[in-house]
Structure 1
Amino acid sequence: MKHVEGTILGAAIGRRSFLKGSAAAVIAAGLGSSLCESQPAVADEKKTGASEDIVKPGTCRGGCGAGCQMNVHVRDGKIVKTSRRKQSDPDVTRVCNKGLTHALRVYAEDRLKYPMKRVGERGEGKWEQISWDEAITTISDKWKEVAEKHGPRANGFLCGSGNITPDSQHGKRLCSAMGATLLDAAQDRVFYASFPPIVGSFKGAGGGGRNDLKNAKHIFIWGFNPSEGDSQTFHYFLRAKVEHGAKMIVIDPTFTIAASKADLLVPIHPGTDGALALAMANVLVNEGLAKEDFLKSDTVAPCLVKEADGKYLRLSDIGKATVGAPEDKCVVRAEDGSLGALGEVANPVIRGTFAIEGIEVRTAYDLLLERVSEWTPEKASEICDVPVETIRELAHLVQDGHNSVNIGLGLDHVTNGMATFSSILSMCMIAGQYGHPGNTAKGMFRGEISIGWMPYGLANPKGAPGSQVFYSPALLNCMESKKYGDKDINIKTLYIWDHNLFGTQVGGVRWRKFLEDVELLVVADVVSTSTTNYADIVLPACHYFETETASGDDTRYVFHNAKSAEPLYESKSDFDIFKMLFEKMDLQEYDFKDIDELMNAVFDNPTAKKINLTWDRVKEEGSVLTFEPDDRVMGQEGTYGTPTGRLQFYQESIPLDTDYGQTIDFMKERLPYWEPPMEAWKENPLAEKYPLVFTSERSKYKVHTQYTRVPWLLEFEDEPYVAVNPVDCEARGIADGDYIRMFNDRGTCTLRVRFNNGIRPGMVVIDHGWDLDQFVDGFYCDLLGYNVTPVVANSYYFDTLIEIEKATV
């Protein structure tokens, strides 16, 4: 098996040797087998025989979003294990298999030890150790040189989700102070961009909570596998099913663990979920199941839309308000023909075409029905490969009682994702599934985010020049023109932290082409990755538990993360690294003097003050519950955080995540629709050459490429594999367990195949999170394209076609 010949840590080692060596390192550190034990919270000191364990609070804060706090056990200055830490809410007293392995991550063999500079070609693995002073001076001098020659925007920063706390995100503040360019990885952007304009944006106590799931009659799990990718939520689903009798419906191309628990499984053709939702809406309307009273009271259904420009008819159009004034509301029509403002007419009509003072208008609901009308169950059945009777059954289930419709990131990863989310959310409006007990669902769980936790505004200090933001996938599409909308693309330096670019982003081959023009690539990380191995300068960052901070993820708590041990080797926290860079760039006026000043700023807001949430209190108490768990439902008072205060299946204005010079078809985007994925579609001529749809799944053993080299987890799965239906393999002469080559025009990747009858023929599913040097040859991220859509320049991981063949290894 081939591996990269050189790494930052020296010569590459084989996988089996790595396992043995790591185990020896664990034993040498005094860890032993106790690391896997999960214990309840303990006092700050506990007798353990010959020595004492000091137990401190630590928080896991990577990209899974769970934000679990745990006990960090320290013995003789070394972190020896982690265990569950008891919280006042038993549902947040938890730790997963990955959380139990943090001690191995602290003492990992691939841990970065000291600053390094490249002495060979990029990616060659030849390094020279340098001092921190040389590293920081080299970086800052280059930044100043580039800013003078090309302007400050030519310096770029790229941050990921490897450490989502204010101290780590401090680099964004430096980027703003320098007036540099911030690259947004644009991952899961459809998921986060779709909900606010359609159903509203609620955080904290204003949104919905997971406890409401027990009130649902039916729970739809659509396009994700929470048993592995959202484990902090899955037990709520199971409890609703087992203890409260909820029926679970799973819509997924793949037979997952969640699917195995379903009362109804719908193995849909990948990329066709929007068509299914529109067909369900068609059934609801044509069979008289649409909840018209709800549509009148809670949605924009009665709003009158001008035929000429697609804008709402407003009171100013008929001389009853000033344009743009708060009272310039949408006009609705009563049954007797009288007109009034939205919300002020008791029983507005939701159907009809009218001429009002010479202006031709239609109700928004009529426009929605026009889109829905073409999506008969028969038409959708052919596209989705779902039987007509199943489509009708789903439509009847979704309107029967109060139900929770949970939409996952699998739908986000397809280029038609925004329209798919719009279609599902609009179908739920027709079914009346908002604002009632049992209606809370994924996407609304942001209502669990701690109140008073407000670190995000700190990225833009007052008086700083500010940064410009480029979305990475859009950037890759603009390389030839060197224009991002009306902005020049001329990035000459790039600083990456908390992010493994090559292991997590689309367009890997395209990224290497882009980096040819980057004169200095700096990567800060805890361990060696495919991105650190490509850098010009590497900076060793410390582990979560080697620095003090706090986190306020969607748990309702703010958790303290104590400094449990000194940083190993010469590693430093991201905060300390950025402090040195602030100083070298003569930008101390925008910096915080220490972590205490930073954290005090996080809690310097009216909400935190109202509940007495302070940094001192968080440190003293360890965890602060900012509001009690309850059965809140977003929209239960009949108002929603949208421009109209209503659920909006119709978009008067199309909010853009980013403007990279794209052209928008406004009339198409205003309402839900379905169209095939750009690449991964059977009628694409490219499918003749590359007939298989490439997808990935979230692994219980990884969070992106974090944990991918943890020895204990490698004992469960010690090398990459791809799951394929036996039908597709046997047609190509491939046996179960063979090494195969996946390939397309962009790249190639060699790995083992596993037969899996739960995978639909015509697609493959890889276990996401393996890094470059763990493959026999090539890299699966190099297969990924970088198509973007006009409304959301997202990372569309599942819009990829490939072919496979047996490989000789």
Structure 2
Amino acid sequence: MSGSETTHSGLTRRGFLKSAGAVVALSGVSGLVGCTRNYDKSLATTGSEDQIFYGTCRGNCAGGCALKIKVRNGFVVQTEMGEQAQPAFNRICPKGLSHAQRTYSSKRIQYPMRQVGGKGSGEWERISWDEAIEEITSKWKQYQSESGNASVVFSTATGVLSVNKDIYGYLQKLMGGSSTAICYDGAGLSILQKTIGYGLFGSGNNPGCERDSKVVFLVGANAHLALLNSWHFLQEARTAGAKLVHIDPVRTLTSQQCDQFVPIVPGTDAALFLAMTKYCIDQGWADEDYLRKNTVAPFLIREDTGHYVRMSDLGFEPLAGDPDPVTGEETFMDAIMVWDSKTGKPAVADTIENPQLIGEFEQNGIKMRPVYQGLINHLGEWSLERASEICDIPEETIAELARMFAQDGPSTVYMGFGVDHYNGGHKTYQAIITFLAVTGQFGTSGSGLSGVSSGSNVFFSNPNLQVVDAKTGPVIGTVKLASVKEQGAIGEIPLDIRSIFFYGHNYISNVTERLKAIECLKAIDLVVVADIAMNDTTEYADILLPVCGWMETLDIYSGGPVPIMKLQEQAIEPLYESKNDFEIGCLLAEGMGFGDKVSWSHDEYLSAFFDNALCESLDYTLERLKKEKTLALLPQSDGRYPHGANGVFPTETGKLQFYLEKYTRGIGFEGMDNGDEVDEADEQFATFMPPHEVWRENPLIEKYPLQFMSMRNRFTTHSQFYDVAWFREIMPEPILKLNPADAAARGISAGDTIKAFNDRGYVVLKAEIDAGLRPGVTVYPKGWQASQFIDGHVSNLTSSYTIPSMYNNYYFDTLCQVEKCEED
């Protein structure tokens, strides 16, 4: 941007498309003209003045690739793959190679700005950092005085996996503000934590375990595009003789590099896995030894409530437990009971060798059965015939898939987030976990769950960021944010949202029902966004705070599936007037009167993240990370860390919990049970919940006969990297894929301008014909911003519908109609 006082948010939609093939224009930024003129040539040569810095690609693509950053004369001129402590994870994709362009993007936010024409006007004025901090903090104080501390909301997601931004969560606690919970891909992550727990590497095996698989089912996972860093492990398994099966509604490059493609009706995966589970039990392929030792299968459940039978139910005295670690007082355990097949009586779980899995019992007037017997009863209706009719997969195919997985293992389900995006998606994950439990395919390298469920839990604790007895406001699901603002309450709790602060989070681009979300932001007094570049959310901010680029600050990589912590060195000085998140958070804290709470230097702040048991046991410190650049979290050199090894799971019972005794909402928002009560009985076993909108029995299909869904884009990570000019040369504008029959019925040819629409909104973009789609399905590559569509936006069509048991964005549960646009 120029130094003028009033500027516009950026290119128009048409203007962006016309200029998309050009190299990023830097001529308007003082001092960068020479770098631009020799840009391509400089990438191919190495001068004696070059410096190499170490860093990471920190967007949430489940990659976490290491980078070598080449700097010449103070400018980032090239990024390439960096080496990691475990060489199996040495990978990089085109996005990782594009950081030189991304760093100098014309969409960078260069200085603090205030929107003077109202949210969405694109009329900005430049302000100083002092003005920005003073205006924000003075208004926050006013709002909290008038409407309570909870009226200021802090909202983040996984746009940046690092620890610098953790300072904002600390500020929220100090202020007593409210926060938001991520409802993007929330169904899968939530239910997996309940069923198999969240360990050091998330809820699944660490990438690399697939190399030991003999059978891999890829479910809702376009891994070739979405999970490039771990795709090679699947191909290595295939080369070694494993059979890869892609179960998906859309035939993609992933399908073409698997041994078998199984086209399934969208949103019906739970029906497939329930039927395969029943078939394995009927065929005698259930691994009863695994079920007894490692799962909740032998636990007794009451017929009347579905709750576990405990000692107190049968009149037994609770067992003495370990003393309370704080008070030293004696504790007791009301242990769960199983049925002893030898004595014919109840016994405490894990005290006998051979608890009964089958049977109906009664004791003290309580009718009970083992969980496994309950599962068998529950699966009674799930014949191959029924699943075939629902999923449109031949019965013999379902039978062979079940046999292959149960008998030819070790077997892995490689999960994506595709099944998460339908009503009841959490039940699909539970159905898959049930299938894995019954077949005993869990706990070894080569068996279990992999893919997006695997996420390194490297969220280092920093004791300095703890606020004792913090009295914060409620947690609001992002999918519920608009309704909470409209109602002025979160369930029974009054809540007047006066301000919201977004960081690491492009809310408008990622939430469903975009137009409703925009109206929500327009109704909020003060919207503040701290970000690197302009995007869909910044358009509706009142004040923008420029965050420096990833190469412009010292940071620590946090999260992702790779079991390695990595350093981000500061390669160049922060561009323009940008600051790192730590510095911005401290400025805001000082403005709110908490300056004494943020008195650390940046190095002291980062060093405190090593003050935890894991780092202490490994003798890891910030200084050591600065020296070695990358540190493995576990000693194995090959990256094989199976979840649930030795039958131990980080769950409430320590077992694989395919049965959920007392269900609570996965993303728990206190106070939001007003009209949203959860029926425990419906959530205890895995079930098939038909999609809400795209289900074939919905009469709305007559009006809107096509399903509207997305796929990963090779050149974006969610909504990041949209502004890289190299990628725009290859993929210059958004498209919508249609099946040839659907296109022909509408007179649409490849390259035509088309309009997709429903009652919620529309988008205008170009058509692409793809025979890999099931008839009735349309697909758009995700990640485009509003300025890049001819008109409208893909997120205008999606629905914010959700269900009491799972607050989640159901992106794929969307119907639309498509028509050809007349040329101007």
Bin for the TM-score computed over the shorter chain: over 0.9
Q: CA deviation at 1:384?
A: 0.7
Matched, 1:601 2:608: yes
Residues 456 and 768 of structure 1: is their aligned pair in 2 closer, same or farther, counting only changes over 3 Å?
farther
TM-align CA RMSD: 2.2
- Match among 276, 280, 298 for residue 280 of structure 1: 276
CA–CA distance in structure 2, aligned partners of residues 422 and 121 of structure 1: 46
Counterpart residue number, 2:67: 70
CA contact (8 A) 2:203 2:453 kept: no
Kept in 2, the 8 Å contact 1:74–1:564? The answer is: yes
Partner of 2:348: 341
- Per-residue CA shift, 1:728-748, capped at 9, x if unaligned? 111112122111101111111
C-alpha distance after superposition, 1:83-129 (max 9, x if no partner): 11123422222221001111111111111111111121321211111
> Who is 1:246 aligned against?
242
Once the two structures are TM-superposed, the CA of residue 17 in structure 1 deviates from its matched residue by: 2.6
**Where do 1:611-650 residues align within 5 Å?**
611-627=618-634, 628=636, 629-650=638-659
State the AA in 1 paired with 2:668. T
| Residue 357, structure 1, aligned to residue 360, structure 2 | no
Q: Does 1:414 align with 2:410?
A: no
Moved more, 177-186 or 434-443: 434-443
Q: Is structure 2 residue 512 aligned with structure 1 residue 516?
A: no
Whether 2:586 is the aligned partner of 1:579: answer: yes
* Per-residue deviation, 1:28: 3.5
Give the match's secondary structure for 1:560.
strand
Alignment of 1:702-721 (within 5 A): 702-721=716-735
Tell me by how many angstroms 1:386 deviates.
0.8
Matches of 1:751 and 1:444 in 2, distance apart? 30
Give 1:205 shift.
11
SS class of match (1:128): strand
Matches within 5 A, 1:43-122: 48-49=46-47, 51-122=48-119
Rounded to whole Å, the distance in 2 between the matches of 1:447 and 1:770 is: 25
Deviation by residue 1:161-212 (Cα, 9 ceiling, x = unmatched): 2222111232111111111111223211112111122122221599733332
Q: Which moved more, 1:575-584 or 1:620-629?
A: 620-629
Structure 1 residues 489, 457: CA separation in 2 closer, same or farther (over 3 Å shift)? farther
Find the counterpart in structure 2 of residue 41 from structure 1.
none
Are 1:77 and 1:565, in contact at CA under 8 Å, matched by a contact in 2? Answer: yes
Match of 2:188 in 1: 191
Is 1:203 aligned with 2:203? Answer: no
1:24: Cα distance to partner?
6.5
Q: Which residue of 1 aligns with 2:327?
A: none
3-state DSSP of counterpart to 2:730:
coil
Cα distance in 2 for partners of 1:646, 1:576 equals 43
Q: What's the secondary structure of 2:502's corresponding residue? A: strand
- In structure 1, the residue matched to 2:697 is 683
Show CA shifts across 1:197-248 (max 9, x none). 2122221599733332222110111111111111111111111111x21110
**1:798 paired to 2:812:** yes
Alpha-carbon distance in structure 2 between the residues aligned to 1:512 and 1:187: 17
Q: Paired residue for 1:397, among 387, 404, 409?
A: 404
Offset at residue 444 of structure 1 (A): 8.4
> What is the SS of the residue equivalent to 2:449?
coil
Match of 1:435 among 418, 422, 443: 443
Does 2:792 correspond to 1:773?
A: no
| Aligned equivalent of 2:661 | 652
Q: Which amino acid aligns with 1:246?
A: A
Q: CA deviation at 1:490?
A: 1.1
The answer (yes or no) to whether the contact 1:190–1:792 under 8 Å persists in 2 is yes
Larger CA deviation: 440-449 vs 140-149: 440-449
Aligned AA (1:397): M
Question: 1 CA distance for matches of 2:599 and 2:429?
Answer: 41
Shift of 1:564: 0.8
- Whether 2:476 is the aligned partner of 1:470: answer yes
**How far 1:319 moved relative to its partner?**
2.5
Map Cα deviations across residues 262-289 of structure 1 (whole Å, 9 max, x no partner).
1121110000000011111121122222
Matched residues in 1 for 2:222 and 2:758: separation? 27
Residue 801 of structure 2: aligned partner: 787
Q: Would you say the 8 A contact 1:444–1:634 is kept in 2?
A: no
Q: Per the alignment, in what secondary structure is the counterpart of residue 740 of structure 1? A: strand
Shift of 1:805: 0.6
Does the CA-based 8 Å contact 2:204-2:450 persist in structure 1? no
Tell me the secondary structure at the aligned position of residue 81 of structure 1. strand
* Residue type of the alignment partner of 2:650: G
Q: Is the 8 A contact 1:175 1:467 kept in 2?
A: no
- Give 3-state SS (helix, strand or coil) of 2:479's partner: helix
Amino acid in the other structure paired with 1:22 = V
Cα 1:27–1:249 shift into 2, 3 Å: farther
Letter paired with 2:644: G
| Structure 1 position 9, deviation (Å) | 4.3
Instruction: Report the 3-state secondary structure (helix = DSSP H, G, I; strand = E; otherwise coil) of the residue aligned with 1:20.
Output: coil
State whether residues 35 and 101 of structure 1, in contact with CA within 8 Å, keep that contact through their aligned partners in structure 2.
Answer: no
Matches within 5 A, 1:265-304: 265-304=261-300
Judge which range, 313-322 or 615-624, deviates more.
Answer: 313-322
Q: Contact 2:86–2:639 (CA<8 Å) still a contact in 1?
A: no
**Within-5 A mapping of 1:374-389:** 374-389=381-396
Tell me, in whole angstroms, the C-alpha distance in 2 between the residues paired with 1:119 and 1:444: 42
Contact 2:207 2:451 in 1 (8 A): no
The whole-number CA distance in structure 2 between the counterparts of 1:436 and 1:751 is 47
Residues 358-395 of structure 1, C-alpha deviations (whole Å, 9 max, x = no match): 11112211211122111111111111111111111111
Q: Distance in 2 between matches of 1:120 and 1:166?
A: 35
TM-score when normalising by structure 2: 0.92
Of stretches 285-294 and 749-758 in structure 1, the one that deviates more from structure 2 is 285-294
Partner residue in 2 for 1:507: 513
> The residue matched to 1:441 in structure 2 has which SS?
strand
* 2:125 aligned to which of 119, 125, 128: 128
Q: Contact 1:682/1:691 (CA < 8 Å) preserved in 2?
A: no
Of residues 27, 31, 35 in structure 2, which corresponds to 1:29? 35
Name the residue aligned to 2:325: none
2:268/2:690 contact within 8 Å kept: yes
Write the deviation string for residues 31-78 of structure 1: whole angstroms up to 9, x where unpaired: 6226777xxxxxxxxx934x5101111111112131222111111111
CA distance in 1, matches of 2:466, 2:122: 36
Give the aligned partner of residue 467 of structure 2. 461
Alpha-carbon distance change, 239 to 10 in structure 1, aligned in 2, over 3 angstroms:
closer
Structure 1 range deviating more: 167-176 or 379-388: 167-176
Q: Distance in 1 between matches of 2:9 and 2:640?
A: 50
Equivalence map 1:661-672=2 (5 Å)? 661=673, 662-672=676-686
Deviation (angstroms), 1:18:
4.6
For 1:718-737, list aligned pairs within 5 A: 718-737=732-751
Contact 2:521 2:540 (C-alpha < 8 Å) held by counterparts = no
2:22 equivalent in structure 1: 20
Rounded Cα–Cα distance in structure 2 between residues aligned with 1:653 and 1:198: 12
Using a 3 Å threshold, how does the CA distance of structure 1 residues 437 and 543 change in structure 2: closer, same or farther? closer
The structural deviation recorded for 1:456 is 7.1
Describe the shift of the 1:188–1:327 C-alpha distance in structure 2 as closer, same or farther (beyond 3 A): same
Consecutive unaligned residues in structure 2, runs of 5 or more:
1-5, 322-330
Please give the secondary structure, in 2, of the residue aligned with 1:715.
Answer: helix
Provide the secondary structure at the position in 2 that maps to 1:683: coil
Indicate if the aligned counterparts of 1:212 and 1:630 stay in contact, CA closer than 8 A.
yes
Q: Give yes or no for contact 2:23–2:725 (8 Å, CA) kept in 1.
A: no
Structure 1 residues 787 and 424, CA gap change in structure 2 (3 angstroms)? same
Quick one: percent identity of the two aligned structures? Answer: 34
Q: Partner of 2:307 in structure 1?
A: 311
Distance 1:164 1:458 in 2: 19
Contact 1:35/1:103 (8 A) holds in 2? no
Alpha-carbon distance in 2 for matches of 1:640, 1:444: 18
- How far apart, in 1, do the equivalents of 2:202 and 2:815 lie? 43
Q: Does the 8 A contact of 1:191 with 1:443 survive in 2?
A: no
Residue 527 (structure 1) aligned to one of 533, 536, 559: 533
